[in-house]
Amino acid sequence: METCILKGYENKDLQLYIWKDVSSPKGVLQLVHGSCEHSLRYNDFAKYLNSIGWIVIANDHRGHGKTANVEDNELGYFSDDEGWNIIIEDLKYVNNYIKSNYANLDIVMFGHSMGSFMSRTFIIKYPTLLEGVILSGTGWQNNFLLNIAIRLAKRNQKKYGSKNIDKKIWNLSYKKLNKRYSKSNSNGVEWLSSVEDVQSNFLNDPLCGQIFTSSAFKDMFEGIKFIQNTTNISKVSKNLPILLLSGKDDPVGNYTKSVNKTYKVFINNSLKVEMKLYDKMRHEILNEVNKEQVYEDINNFLSKIKNTSLK
């Protein structure tokens, strides 16, 4: 694995990771990580993809990982305004980098959790730049509650500043994700995976678990509202293969309910979508006991894309 700094939108330094231990590459997977984590958590997955012929390139988002300037209190902070759209533009810079360095290879985007919402934004704004997209741990949110959350985040940002660590909104959103798994000795992140080592590694990683700022919450909620707009969904290419993946015990997908909602909306908009749901898996299906099953389904999806592009 190699690392470098890539200049993103408005010359922002983005930490970039490149896994390219591949002799005859079939394509490039652009990986878009989730909230409160970073791209290095996908090291095992990236190595697997290398083993089946796919190069993997990922960046740490603003407010995350090594892209965030910890000394300047940037963990959990995107930008004062338009942070979501700025991150989407960063992803476009990464995509440009891939096209410049691997011009003849297909590009498939993989987005997990918040990264799946970002990927959904990307395919609305840039419907022709990818050969496929994989959405892991995605879902559909209540628009009424989103509007309330946006107003609250805007109020808190105005009152306390853009870099205000917003524990109130955190408690109303992320903290509730562990409700089904809470117990007397709960560590608060059981909802991520049933594997205890995954939980402890997340808790002990200084670049994981940061609480979002008011401005970042505002940006994310506005981004989710954007991707759920019917007019925006209609801009997604009808020829783009889409794979939805979710654990049946994932609270972000409302235990399959909101993933099914997303699937039905995509079908109703004539999108080329398929869905896989996994028994006894929580939010991070790539970090579950039977992750090999997920790996295999992703391999099959990528193989179909490659076979189609060769025709």
Q: Residues 127-144: pLDDT tens digits?
A: 999 999 999 999 999 999
The mean per-residue pLDDT over the stretch 232-260 comes to 98
Q: Write down the mean pLDDT value for the chain.
A: 97
DSSP 44-88: HHHHHHHHTTEEEEEEPPTTSTTTS-GGGT-TT---SS-HHHHHH
Backbone angles phi, psi at 207, to 5 degrees: -105, 20
Q: Residues 284-297: pLDDT tens digits?
A: 999 999 999 999 99
> Residue 170: which of 76, 251, 65, 81 has the closest Cα?
76
Please give the Cα distance from 189 to 170 (Å, whole number).
13
Asked whether 42 and 54 are in contact (CB, 8 A), the reply is no
Q: Residues 70-103: pLDDT tens digits?
A: 989 999 999 999 999 999 999 999 999 999 999 9
Give the CATH number of the domain where residue 173 resides.
3.40.50.1820
Q: Is the pLDDT of residue 109 over 80?
A: yes
Domain with 207, as residue range(s), is: 2-310
Q: Residues 26-57: pLDDT tens digits?
A: 999 999 999 999 999 999 999 999 999 999 99
Read off the pLDDT band of 311 (50, 70, 90).
Answer: very low
DSSP 154-204: HHHHHHH-TT-B-HHHHHHTTGGGGGGG--TT--S-TTT-S-HHHHHHHHT
Q: Is the pLDDT of residue 184 over 80?
A: no
How many domains would you assign to the chain? 1
The pLDDT assigned to 185 comes to: 83
The pLDDT assigned to 309 comes to: 61
Asked whether 274 and 242 are in contact (CB, 8 A), the reply is yes
